[in-house]
Amino acid sequence: MSNQFTALKTIWIKECIRFTRIWVQTLVPPAITMSLYFVIFGNLIGSRIGDMGGFNYMEFIVPGLIMMSVITNSYSNVASSFYSTKFQKSIEELLVSPVPTYIIVLGYMGGGMARGLCVGIIVTILSLFFVDIQIHNIAVIFATVLLTAAVFALGGLINAVYANSFDDISIIPTFVLTPLTYLGGVFYSITLLPDFWQGVSQFNPIIYMVNAFRYGFLGVSDVDITTAFAVIVAFISGLFAVAYRLIDKGVGIRH
């Protein structure tokens, strides 16, 4: 067990060093992007929109913007890192070592979560310059951000397993992740949508993550919190099982 813990810690530390060493590329750009969102959507557009769910527009979108930064960075960190190990053939050394597959999955997942949380903290600090953040339930905030980071870190790992080029790791974020995020209630309440589109929105998992996170700050949510956590945990379980099987079978790695 101690050897397995050492292996897990080693992979996790390697992943953390990787993104902190190039922090100008990994931590600064998300902070600048989110600052622009705060200025444009919060101050300029938000002042014309008015209240949203009993809160001013800036207060309403801040939790969603923080969550959006966590999602994109958790995903991209693992996708790029694991694919790089495939490209450099260094993943083969890890696979022939006596490291269990689940440790490999947890190690990369932990690295993606670490970057997502770091960016989330930076964005939260930046948001304090634009709005006074409320905290309704700190436990819900921590649980949601950790579980969401885990979901998308695992998603990034699966993307990297199937990727055959560096271009392939940008396809899912561009054509799937970005649309789901923008349609995930970051900038609006789904109660504003017609009944049909409210029903369609229930199939977007990011709706549950954003609303659970918003509930932790503001105490309001468009979905049931218990359902939201059930959906997130279900995604973690499913994605972990898929990632484990793919790496264990050597899909996209062994030829």
Domain-wise residue ranges, the chain: 2-249
Q: Burial, 16: exposed, middle or buried (Cβ in 10 Å; 0-12, 13-18, 19+)?
A: middle
Partners of 51 in beta bridges = 56
HEC-encoded secondary structure of 4-50 = HHHHHHHHHHHHHHHHHHCHHHHCHHHHHHHHHHHHHHHHHHHHHHC
Cα–Cα distance, 162 to 160 (Å, whole number):
5
| pLDDT single digits (tens) 56-92 | 888 899 999 999 999 999 999 999 999 988 888 888 8
CA 189 to chain centre: 20
pTM of structure? 0.93
pLDDT of residue 223: 93
| Alpha-carbon torsion, ordered 62, 208, 212, 187, to 10 deg | 20
- Max intra-chain CA distance, the chain: 59
pLDDT of residue 254: 62
pLDDT of residue 171: 87
Q: Is the pLDDT of residue 234 over 90?
A: yes
| pLDDT single digits (tens) 120-170 | 999 999 999 888 888 999 999 999 999 999 999 999 999 999 998 888 888
pLDDT of residue 74: 96
Candidates 242, 253, 227, 254; CA nearest to 102 is 242
Candidates 183, 175, 173; CA nearest to 152 is 173
| pLDDT single digits (tens) 168-224 | 888 888 888 988 988 898 888 888 888 888 888 889 999 999 999 999 999 999 999
Cα–Cα distance, 242 to 104 (Å, whole number):
13
